[in-house]
Amino acid sequence: MSLWVYFVLALLLMVFYSTVLLARSNARKDHCTPINTNMTATYFLHTVDHLISQAPWLTTFISVYLLGMFETLSIVLWKRGLLGSPNQSHVEQLIDHLTRHRRLDRVPLAIITGGDSGIGFEISCGLLRAGFQVILASRSATLATEAQKKMHSLTKSNRTSFYVLDLCSYASVHSFVNHIKDTYPRGAIDLLINNAGVMNIPFALTEDAIETQFQTNCLSPMLLSLSLLPWMNPKRSHMLFASSSTLYAASHLDPTLAKTSYTLDGLTHYAHSKMAIALASKILGQKLQAQGSQVLVSSYHPGTVRTNLFSSTTVFNLPFMSFLFDFIMLTPKEGSATPLYLALSPLDGESIPTAQFWSEAAIQPLPTLIRIQSKSPYAKPSLDTFWTNMLALCDVSPLQANEWIKDSFPPVK
């Protein structure tokens, strides 16, 4: 047997042992949620993520595939009824129950990027059922129009509109923000979900000279969110950022990666972009909280979901493998569970802590061994330099970012 086979077997034993210990702890009761149907599966995945993040000698590419393999195993064991646990149909019914039977004193306003397909489409439908007005930020007017028709057919709600937003263009982000500010009053936005993303696509630079995955998954969502802070509801609103469990494969954060090319391995850039947005959103949430802002910030992993995200990864599109993955991967509706839980729980009076990363509708710590590298050889790597470098890549100064953060507070009367 090869060394890799022994390693995987040993990791499996460690994971199952750790999972049993965690499942027996009191924490199991503390983190149950209406849509988390099996906490043992949750602890299994969280343990895998932690163990892989503690092995920096693994390449990011290998770690991504290991994470995917164990997440798929978790779905087969605990989410497809093989161990007597709730299956797909049951989970989707729980999501329907979460989004219905609400009595709202007003119509909350939500903006969602990539809401015209995949997980974003299901999130949008859930929000409409819950009584929200939903703005679709879509890269295509045609896709958005088609999505609106489908949403009306499924939810009977006409509370949708759309604006074109290309996350590969800072100019498009600024144009979208200006349109929102011209159309809606200050403080009107209750929910912003940065859902759109790309993975493992052929290397290309955007018009802003940034690697496409990094700008789409990280930089443009952060620029959009910072720019819209003054338009968030100052009494209580929520910003969500779609990340990924692949962040546990990233052993370091290097801002220069945003302008570095690749050939066959686009997964490394993907994992780093997802690590960067999870950490940047945590920093943003902490900065808002430190100043007393009521705007919550969360990042989340939706799960391994069968969407167009995998269209550029060959193994997922082979004839037999494609059929297999249709069964063992989550549906887009299942993938909407965690973001919908985060979006709707405050409506039920549940307190959601800010500046956290969520997976399986439970808080999950970010990696502890992450190394932060600086663009300057003279600067000491730190969260502050990471934040500053992120802002610089977005063409935003720290002073401007601080002004947007201060503008998220309610006006003094």
DSSP string, 59-114: -HHHHHHHHHHHHHHHHHHHTSSTTS---HHHHHHHHHHHHSS---SS--EEEEET
| One domain for residues 215 and 69 | no
Tokens, residue 190? 């209750």
Do residues 163 and 135 make contact, with C-beta atoms less than 8 angstroms apart? yes
Do residues 233 and 190 lie in contact, with contact meaning Cβ atoms separated by under 8 Å?
Answer: yes
pLDDT of residue 134: 98
Residue 71 is part of which domain span?
Answer: 3-78
Same domain, 270 and 392: yes
Q: Which residue has the higher pLDDT, 3 or 254?
A: 254
Catalytic residue (one of 170, 270, 300, 341): 270
Cβ neighbours of 6 (radius 10 Å)? 10
The whole-angstrom separation of Cα 5 and Cα 119 is 34
SS3 state at 337: helix
Q: Kindly report the backbone phi and psi dihedral angles of residue 38, in degrees, each rounded to the nearest multiple of 5, phi listed first.
A: -155, 100
User: What is the pLDDT of the chain when averaged over all its residues?
Assistant: 84
Number of domains within the chain? 2
Place of tokens 């391995």: 265
Question: pLDDT tens-digit profile of 345-378?
Answer: 877 777 889 999 999 888 999 987 667 765 554 4
Q: Are residues 149 and 25 in the same domain?
A: no
Q: Please report whether residue 40 resides in a domain.
A: yes
Percent above pLDDT 70 for the chain: 80
Query: In this model, does residue 259 exceed pLDDT 60?
Result: yes
Q: Are residues 389 and 275 in the same domain?
A: yes
Amino acid at 138: S
Integer Cα distance of 132 and 259 in angstroms:
38
Smallest CA-to-CA distance from 109 within 94, 121, 124, 120 is with 124
* pTM recorded for the entire structure: 0.89
Q: Do residue 143 and residue 223 come from a single domain?
A: yes
- Is position 270 annotated as part of the catalytic site? yes
Q: Domain check: are 164 and 247 in the same one?
A: yes
Q: 166 lies in a domain?
A: yes
Higher pLDDT: 165 or 13? It is 165
Q: For the domain that residue 368 is a member of, what is the CATH number? A: 3.40.50.720
pLDDT tens profile 80-129:
766 656 677 777 888 888 888 666 778 999 999 999 999 999 999 999 99
- Domain stop point among 37, 58, 78: 78
